[in-house]
C-alpha cells in the first residue's frame, strides 16, 4: 500500500523533501505544513503553526499520515517525536532528549568527550568572569557559543580583542540570546576547511547520504554577515572515501553508542559539521536535521528511495537498506531579496519560472497569489545545477539563475569557487 507523508516546515529544504516524496512510487500523498509556493505545486499545503505540537498531531491523525518528517529543529527540540510516539503516530526524528545534540552545544560536547570523538577543546562557563579568566589563559582566537538554540546566531568567532569584547557585550550586557546563553561553551578556534556529512540513523545503524559545503556569508569571497546559507555544492572535493569512512567509524557510530548508553537511541537525520585540520576531521557541531540549502543538492543526487530509507529507519531496519548516490555533482545558488539577512521587501512578482519548468528550482520564501508566485522571505529560490564535475555544475546552476528575475534579486556569484580552487591547487587557502 502506498503511504501518506507529512513534511513539517516551509523552506527550500522542505520543498526538496516534498519533491523527493512526490517522485517516489511508495508514496501516494504528500502534505506540507505550512509549505511554500513551490510545495503548493507538488503537495497539499496546510496552514499550521509549527509551535503548536498538539495541532500537528491532530492534523497527522485526521489525514491518516503514515510518516511525518520534520524539517527544522524547533519542533524536535520541543518534543514532537515524544508526543507522536506516545500516540502511536509514526514520525522520523530524534526525541527531545536526542535533539539536545543540537539544542545544547555542551550536551553534544560532553557526549563527544565521553566517547573520545575528535573535537576542539572546550570549557563550560556560567559567568562573564569565568569567560574572561579563561581567555587570559587560553588566548585568542577563541569561539564563544551560546549553549542553547539561538536561530543560528549563537556562535561568535573571536580573533581580536574587539571581537571578544563585542561577543561579551552581546551575550552578557545585551542578553541577546536570553536563556540560550545561560551557559557558554568556550572553544579553541580550529583553522581548516569545513564540510558537512549527512546521515540517516535508526538508533543503532546509520547510512551516509552525502557530503556538502554551505556558503554562510552574505557576500562573495565569504564576506559580510552570516546567513542561513547562500548556496551549496555536493559532494565536496574534500570528501574522500577514507575520510567518509573515518567520520562513520570514529564520529557517527560512537555518537549513536553514546545516545544508546544514555537510554535514548538516536533516530533521525544527523548533520555532522566538520573542520578538516591537516586531513583529520574535528566536529564543529551536530544538527539533528538536514541543512538548508545543503538538502537541495544532497537529495537530487540520491538515486535510491528516501522514503524507504526513512521508513526502514523508523523500523530499526537500516542495516539492510541501500543508498545509491549519483556520481554527478550538484550546485545550488540561493536567490535572495536585496538586504537579506537584514531588512528586505516582500511581495515582488517572480518572473521567468515558466522558462525553467524543466529544471530543478526549489522554492523557499515564496507564496502563490492568484496566478503569480510572489516573494515572501529573505531566501526566495534555490536554482540547482548538475554536471559531471563541479565546474560544469556551477555553470549549469548560474544558467538557471539568469533566467529568473524579480525586483531586488540578489545572489552570490562565487558558489563553488573555493571547491574549484581546492581542485586546482589542492589547497583552498589562497
Ligand atoms: P554554527 O552556527 O554552529 O554553524 O557555527 C557557525 C560557524 O562558526 C561554523 O560554520 C564555523 O565556521 C565556525 N565555528 C564554530 N565553532 C568553531 C571552532 N571551534 N573553531 C573554528 N570555527 C568554528
Ligand atoms: N545551512 C546551514 C544549516 O542548515 O544549518
Reported as a single tens digit per residue, the pLDDT across 233-260 is 999 999 999 999 999 999 999 999 999 9
What are 44-90's pLDDT values in tens digits? 999 999 999 999 999 999 999 999 999 999 999 999 999 999 999 99
Is residue 310's pLDDT more than 60? Answer: yes
For residue 273, the CA-to-ligand 1 centroid distance in Å is 8
Is residue 262's pLDDT more than 60? Answer: yes
Q: Which ligand sits nearest to residue 285's alpha carbon?
A: 1
Q: Which ligand sits nearest to residue 297's alpha carbon?
A: 2
Of the pLDDT bands very low, low, confident and very high (cuts 50, 70, 90), residue 274 is: very high
- CA 271, CA 200: separation in Å to the nearest integer? 9
Closest CA to 377 of 7, 9, 8, 10: 10
Is residue 428's pLDDT more than 70? Answer: no
Q: Which residues line ligand 1 (CB under 6 A)?
A: 120, 143, 152, 155, 157, 187, 189-190, 194, 273, 275, 284-285
pLDDT mean over 201-219: 97
- CA 71, CA 366: separation in Å to the nearest integer? 17
Nearest Cα residue to atom 4 of ligand 2:
291
Q: What is the DSSP track for 201-238?
A: EESS-EEEEEEEEE--EEEGGGEEEE-S-SEEEES-TT
User: Taking a C-beta distance cutoff of 8 angstroms, is the pair 277, 190 a contact?
Assistant: yes
Ligand 2 atom having least distance to the Cα of 289: 4
Is residue 325's pLDDT more than 70? Answer: yes
Report the relative pairing of strands 91-92 and 67-70 from DSSP bridges.
parallel
pTM of this structure: 0.96
Placement of cell 574549484 in the chain: 420
User: Taking a C-beta distance cutoff of 8 angstroms, is the pair 331, 389 a contact?
Assistant: no
Any idea how long the chain is?
A: 430
pLDDT mean over 17-32: 98
- Give the domains, in start order, of the chain with CATH numbers: 3-95 (3.40.50.20), 121-188 (3.30.1490.20), 193-320 (3.30.470.20), 329-424 (3.90.600.10)
CB atoms within 10 A of CB 90: 16
Is residue 427's pLDDT more than 60? Answer: no
Extract the C-alpha cell encoding 40: 503548493
pLDDT mean over 370-394: 96
CB atoms within 10 A of CB 236: 24
What are 101-123's pLDDT values in tens digits? 999 999 999 999 999 999 999 99
Nearest Cα residue to atom 3 of ligand 2:
291
For residue 292, the CA-to-ligand 2 centroid distance in Å is 5
pLDDT mean over 390-418: 97
- CA 107, CA 4: separation in Å to the nearest integer? 35
For residue 215, the CA-to-ligand 1 centroid distance in Å is 13
User: Taking a C-beta distance cutoff of 8 angstroms, is the pair 215, 228 a contact?
Assistant: no
Of the pLDDT bands very low, low, confident and very high (cuts 50, 70, 90), residue 430 is: very low
pLDDT mean over 386-407: 98
Of the pLDDT bands very low, low, confident and very high (cuts 50, 70, 90), residue 225 is: confident
Helix and strand counts by DSSP (H, E) for the chain: 15, 22
- From 122, 143, 167, 217, the mutation candidate for ligand 1 (largest count of ligand atoms within 8 A of CB) is 143
Of the pLDDT bands very low, low, confident and very high (cuts 50, 70, 90), residue 429 is: very low
Of the pLDDT bands very low, low, confident and very high (cuts 50, 70, 90), residue 151 is: confident
Nearest Cα residue to atom 5 of ligand 1:
155
pLDDT mean over 252-270: 98
Q: What is the pLDDT of residue 226?
A: 86
Is residue 317's pLDDT more than 80? Answer: yes
Q: What is the pLDDT of residue 424?
A: 84
Q: What is the pLDDT of residue 426?
A: 64
Q: What percent of the chain has pLDDT above 90?
A: 87
Q: Is 73 in the pocket of ligand 2 (CB under 6 A)?
A: no
- CA 100, CA 150: separation in Å to the nearest integer? 13
Nearest Cα residue to atom 13 of ligand 1:
157
Average pLDDT score over the chain: 95
- CA 414, CA 394: separation in Å to the nearest integer? 9
Amino acid at each position: 500500500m502506498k503511504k501518506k507523508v507529512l513534511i513539517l516546515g516551509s523552506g527550500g529544504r522542505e520543498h526538496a523533501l516534498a519533491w523527493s516524496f512526490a517522485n517516489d512510487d511508495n508514496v501516494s500523498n504528500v502534505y506540507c505544513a505550512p509549505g511554500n509556493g513551490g510545495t503548493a505545486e507538488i503537495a497539499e499545503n496546510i496552514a499550521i503553526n509549527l509551535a503548536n505540537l498538539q495541532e500537528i498531531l491532530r492534523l497527522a491523525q485526521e489525514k491518516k499520515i503514515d510518516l511525518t518528517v520534520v524539517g527544522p529543529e524547533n519542533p524536535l527540540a520541543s518534543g514532537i517525536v515524544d508526543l507522536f510516539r506516545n500516540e502511536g503516530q509514526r514520525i522520523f526524528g530524534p526525541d527531545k532528549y536526542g535533539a539536545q545534540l543540537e539544542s545544547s552545544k555542551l550536551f553534544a560536547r560532553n557526549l563527544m568527550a565521553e566517547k573520545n570523538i575528535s573535537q576542539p577543546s572546550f570549557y563550560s562557563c556560567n559567568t562573564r568572569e569565568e569567560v574572561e579568566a579563561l581567555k587570559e589563559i587560553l588566548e585568542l582566537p577563541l569561539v564563544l557559543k551560546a549553549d542553547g538554540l539561538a536561530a543560528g546566531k549563537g556562535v561568535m568567532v573571536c580573533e581580536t580583542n574587539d571581537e571578544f569584547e563585542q561577543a561579551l557585550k552581546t551575550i552578557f550586557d545585551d542578553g541577546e540570546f536570553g536563556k540560550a546563553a545561560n551557559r557558554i561553551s568556550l572553544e579553541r578556534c580550529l583553522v581548516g576547511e569545513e564540510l558537512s556529512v549527512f546521515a540517516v540513523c535508526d538508533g543503532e545503524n546509520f547510512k551516509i547520504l552525502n557530503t556538502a559545503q554551505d556558503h554562510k556569508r552574505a557576500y562573495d569571497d565569504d564576506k559580510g554577515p552570516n546567513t542561513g546559507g547562500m548556496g551549496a555544492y555536493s559532494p565536496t572535493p574534500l570528501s574522500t572515501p577514507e575520510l567518509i569512512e573515518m567520520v562513520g567509524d570514529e564520529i557517527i557510530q560512537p555518537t549513536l553508542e553514546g545516545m544508546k548508553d544514555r537510554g535514548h537511541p538516536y533516530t533521525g537525520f544527523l548533520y555532522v559539521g566538520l573542520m578538516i585540520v591537516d586531513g583529520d576531521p574535528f566536529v564543529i557541531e551536530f544538527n539533528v536535521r538536514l541543512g538548508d540549502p545543503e538538502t537541495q543538492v544532497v537529495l537530487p543526487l540520491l538515486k535510491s528511495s528516501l522514503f524507504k530509507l526513512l521508513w526502514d529507519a523508523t523500523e530499526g531496519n537500516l542495516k539492510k537498506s541501500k543508498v545509491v548516490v549519483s556520481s554527478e555533482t550538484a550546485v545550488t545558488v540561493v536567490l535572495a531579496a536585496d538586504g537579506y539577512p537584514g531588512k528586505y521587501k516582500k511581495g515582488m512578482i517572480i518572473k521567468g519560472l515558466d522558462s525553467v519548468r524543466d529544471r530543478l528550482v526549489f522554492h523557499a520564501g515564496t507564496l502563490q497569489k492568484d496566478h503569480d508566485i510572489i516573494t515572501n522571505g529573505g531566501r526566495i529560490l534555490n536554482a540547482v545545477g548538475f554536471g559531471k564535475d563541479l565546474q560544469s555544475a556551477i555553470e549549469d546552476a548560474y544558467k538557471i539563475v539568469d533566467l529568473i528575475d524579480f525586483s531586488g534579486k540578489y545572489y552570490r556569484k562565487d558558489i563553488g569557487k573555493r571547491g574549484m580552487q581546492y581542485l586546482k591547487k589542492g589547497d583552498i587557502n589562497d
